[in-house]
Amino acid sequence: MTNLFRIIYDYSARSRYLILLIPAIIVVCIYYQDLSFSPTNWDDEKNIFNNPCLQKFSVENIATILTPGKIPEEQLYIPFTYMSYLVESGTFGLKSSVLHLDNILIHLLNIYLVFSFAQFLFRNRYAALAACTLFAVHPLQVEAVAWCMGRKDLLMTSFSLLCLINFTCFVTTSSKKAYMVSLAFFFAAVFSKPSAFVLPLMLPALFWYFDRKIDRESLFRLVPFFVISAIACLINSKLEMNTFGHELKFVLFRVAFIPAVAEDWLSRILLLKDAGAYYSWYDYYDGSRITLGGVVILLSFVAAGAYAYLRKVKIVFFGIFFLLVSFIPAAILISWSFRDFVTADRYGYFPLIGIFLICGAAVSLSDSRTYRAVFACAFSLFIMLSAWGAYRQASVWKNSETLWKSVASGNQYSFIGHYNLGNYYFKSKYDLKSAEFHYRRANSITPDSDAWFNMGIICELTDRKDESYICYSRAVALNPDSAYAVRKLALACYRKGDLENALKHFLRLTELSPSSPDAYLYCGKIFEVKGEKGMAAKAFGYFEKLKREGN
């Protein structure tokens, strides 16, 4: 293996980037399968393929993408990411193969950028190659590449690395052009995914790393970065679906589990645990997960960083600092967001560069042939295991079925796995038997209004009217504000001849959906049967008015 590296090194004398063929070829072998993958029902279909503003390239759609909060159900303001989808749509149409190919190409670009950034730090091609190869093939990087909606992490990483590379040029050469370019790339990064808002915190570390004094002028240069960061945070915090300000006791409850999450991350980084597509909060609610192990890991990282800073072991400090700062957005999500999942592999796509930089630096720790031979063997083994794990993990994202089966098999009590399998079999395959099985399994874990509603439709389609009535009743009991569930329950009551309950639910529907003509029509019919002619005439009047208005 050492001889192979030596041969490639010799051939790369003319072009220092020829050496990148090694990780590039491995990446192609891992991800070529993605080109045949279908969109998943985890945001791909909803946010990309069925998104009306991505169906054609137009001024109106561009305006929608650039206006915060205009994209339905999108929790982030990420115009650069959605513009990339729109360009693909206008050029090739929304094809899964095109999106996957572009994700792979962006990942290859990021490998080159990690190598270039590492070259600035190490001045050693072997060390830079080791760092970018780990970045290229580690299984934890798969989600961002193999998932269509992972594009935001890929683009954010591309622009962030370009920002760091150009800012490094500014630090080392005082080039005003490099400074302005780095500022432009930071703007693109933070509006590809707002997680990049922490990037300005890393920039002072580059002054320290290259022994440049941080004076008043240097601090002044940092101000525009922090201003852009603050604007991005403000825009995203104002989006309707991003509600912060939860009760302090719930925030502290979740913070208590951060060490356990960190411990699991380290296990997956070291390949002691497999990467996953979904990490449920419910797996962490067991009090036994709060152990000293995770606390020791976090404190060890902080202590190692402090020691490296004091002893001027620059790459170790910078790598740890890079890692901890980059994980701040994920820590905020863990603490403040009431999402069902505690973390995700894509959250580490950019932060893990810090770990990979430290690992890459290990190449140049010694000039001993024995050390280099041992390192090359250990590194090659880790890369082979990582590549195999990444290939297996990439296959999980083949379609919705493989995705959610992997989640359900990893945890038989995963509500989200069974619920989304039910959605896949019902809406994509029209396999009603399999869909009902998984909806029932999901409801046995965590009763859910939408799962009961979909079961009600399946029972209706299979001529089980009484069962559908029960399902709709449970759906409404769990979510009394669900207009579509209330409508179905009202119709079920009407068919059963239970006019009192039918009227109650249709009247509720007029409150939830005032523009629904059917609600007034059925209210009029029921009032007519009850002999309340005035109320019937009033309801029919509303019905006719809404019909004339085109509702």
Residue 2 lies in a domain: no
For residue 15, the model assigns a pLDDT of 55
Contact 65, 82 (CB under 8 A): yes
Compute the distance between CA of residue 303 and CA of residue 403 in angstroms, rounded to an integer. Answer: 39
Residue 9 lies in a domain: no
Are both 410 and 392 inside the same structural domain? no
Residue 11 lies in a domain: no
Token pair of 454, please?
């979909």
Residue 295 lies in a domain: yes
* pLDDT of 16 over the 80 cut: no
* pLDDT of 12 over the 70 cut: no
* pLDDT of 7 over the 90 cut: no
Are both 289 and 381 inside the same structural domain? yes
* pLDDT of 295 over the 50 cut: yes
For residue 8, the model assigns a pLDDT of 44
Token pair of 139, please?
């299984």
User: CA angle, corner 172, sides to 206 and 105, nearest 5?
Assistant: 70
Are both 222 and 128 inside the same structural domain? yes
Which of 367, 398, 429 terminates a domain? The answer is 398
Lowest mean pLDDT among 246-250, 472-476, 484-488: 246-250
Phi first, then psi: what are they for 217, rounded to 5°?
-65, -40
324 falls in which pLDDT band (50, 70, 90)?
very high
Are both 355 and 483 inside the same structural domain? no
Residue 1 lies in a domain: no
For residue 403, the model assigns a pLDDT of 96
Lowest mean pLDDT among 266-275, 282-291, 531-540: 282-291
74 falls in which pLDDT band (50, 70, 90)?
confident
For residue 133, the model assigns a pLDDT of 96
The string of pLDDT tens digits covering residues 193-218 is 999 999 999 999 999 999 998 888 88
Sign of the dihedral defined by the CA atoms of residues 408, 409, 413, 414, in that order:
negative
Compute the distance between CA of residue 394 and CA of residue 3 in angstroms, rounded to an integer. Answer: 31
Lowest mean pLDDT among 112-126, 145-159, 242-256, 319-333: 242-256
Which of 398, 413, 442 terminates a domain? The answer is 398
Q: Which residues pair with 279 in a beta bridge?
A: 343
Lowest mean pLDDT among 26-30, 44-48, 407-411, 456-460: 407-411
Contact 396, 403 (CB under 8 A): yes
Are both 406 and 394 inside the same structural domain? no
For residue 246, the model assigns a pLDDT of 58
For residue 54, the model assigns a pLDDT of 93
Residue 3 lies in a domain: no
> Around Cβ 26, how many Cβ atoms within 10 Å?
20
Mean pLDDT to the nearest integer, 508-534: 89
551 falls in which pLDDT band (50, 70, 90)?
low
Burial class of 404 by CB neighbour count within 10 A (0 to 12, 13 to 18, 19+): buried
* pLDDT of 22 over the 80 cut: yes
Helix H segments across 396-445? 400-410, 415-423, 432-445
* pLDDT of 1 over the 60 cut: no
Are both 375 and 465 inside the same structural domain? no
Are both 504 and 381 inside the same structural domain? no
9 falls in which pLDDT band (50, 70, 90)?
very low
Residue 105 lies in a domain: yes
Are both 519 and 461 inside the same structural domain? yes
Mean pLDDT to the nearest integer, 223-250: 79
Residue 4 lies in a domain: no
C-alpha pair distances (Å), 194 with each of 81, 190, 230, 234: 11, 5, 10, 10
Are both 176 and 276 inside the same structural domain? yes
Counting residues of the chain whose pLDDT is more than 90, the rounded percentage is 67
Structural domains counted in the chain? 2
Q: Model pTM?
A: 0.91
CA-based max dimension of the chain: 99
The string of pLDDT tens digits covering residues 51-73 is 999 998 899 999 999 999 888 87
CATH number at residue 490: 1.25.40.10
Which of 351, 371, 398 terminates a domain? The answer is 398
Q: Which residues pair with 341 in a beta bridge?
A: 280
Are both 383 and 423 inside the same structural domain? no
Compute the distance between CA of residue 476 and CA of residue 490 in angstroms, rounded to an integer. Answer: 10
Are both 394 and 406 inside the same structural domain? no
Phi first, then psi: what are they for 342, rounded to 5°?
-85, -35
The string of pLDDT tens digits covering residues 427-466 is 999 899 999 999 999 999 999 999 999 999 999 999 998 9
Counting residues of the chain whose pLDDT is more than 70, the rounded percentage is 95
Between helices 176-190 and 199-209, what is the axis angle to 10°?
150
* pLDDT of 11 over the 70 cut: no
| Host domain of residue 441 | 401-548
Are both 508 and 365 inside the same structural domain? no
pLDDT, the chain, mean: 90
The string of pLDDT tens digits covering residues 172-197 is 999 999 999 999 999 999 999 999 99
Q: For residue 280, what is the DSSP state?
A: E
Phi first, then psi: what are they for 550, rounded to 5°?
90, 15
> Around Cβ 85, how many Cβ atoms within 10 Å?
23
